[in-house]
Amino acid sequence: MTKPVQKRTLITRRNLIAAAQEIIAAKGYQDMRIDEVVQKAGVAKGTFFAHFPDKDALMDLMIGARIDAELDKLAQQDAPTSVGELVTHLRPLLGFMTQERYVFDVILRHSGAAAREEIGPIAKTFSRQISVIADWLADGPFRKDISPHLLADGVQAFAIQAMGLQFCAIHNGEPMITRLETYLDAWLTPGGAAA
């Protein structure tokens, strides 16, 4: 896990991940089964747990990788010049995160490093997300009385709030994106205009 010494180990690990990817592509995250992964990878069940502490750790890896890919795209965009543009930029990322209730739950569970020592893949993407957004906000027409980092923290908090309500039975009149825009208007440009 930390420092594989044998070539064999790397191959096994790669096979496990490849098998998981195929299964997820075919049936979604929710329906991935460890039994199916090990069967497809051609190893015994115990081997899986020699490579990953638990199922969640693999999910962390898989979902983290996809979020990272979204962040790659995000980071290449120009800094948004309005809240509307910011929300538009975030849309694909939030779309991925809310594609399955299960995925959103995994993300929530791992976003805060999950009380573990080592910071997992998803938690890393959350830090990165803060960096990307903070960079954007630093130069845009947004409030300047607090640090870009704090601003970005808030964007993340509101994004999670908006995504969470997405799955809620009551609040589904308003689409997630619209709700997020309302939040971010109030957060990033209090008083109605850039301060």
| Residue 113 binds which entry of DNA, its own copies, none, CB below 5-8 Å type-dependent | its own copies
| Residue 117 binds which entry of DNA, its own copies, none, CB below 5-8 Å type-dependent | its own copies
Rounded CA-CA distance 128/130 in Å is 5
| Shortest CB 105 distance to DNA, Å | 13
Q: How far is CA 174 from CA 85, 132, 170, in A?
A: 19, 27, 10
| Shortest CB 116 distance to DNA, Å | 13
| Residue 120 binds DNA (CB under 7 A) | no
**CB-based contact 117:132 (threshold 8 Å):** no
| Residue 110 binds which entry of its own copies, DNA, none, CB below 5-8 Å type-dependent | none
| Residue 195 binds which entry of DNA, its own copies, none, CB below 5-8 Å type-dependent | its own copies
**CB-based contact 93:180 (threshold 8 Å):** no
55-76 helix and 7-27 helix, angle to the nearest 10 degrees: 80
Beta-carbon contacts of residue 77 (< 8 Å; ≥ 6 apart): 89
The amino acid occupying position 143 is R
Subset of residues 40 to 59 that bind DNA, contact rule: CB under 7 A: 42-47, 49-51, 53-56
Rounded CA-CA distance 98/105 in Å is 9
Residues lying near its own copies in the complex (CB under 8 A): 101, 105, 108-109, 111-119, 123, 127, 143, 145-146, 150, 153-154, 156-158, 160-161, 164-171, 182-183, 186-187, 190-192, 195
Q: Which residues bind DNA (CB under 7 A)?
A: 4-9, 11-12, 32-35, 42-47, 49-51, 53-56
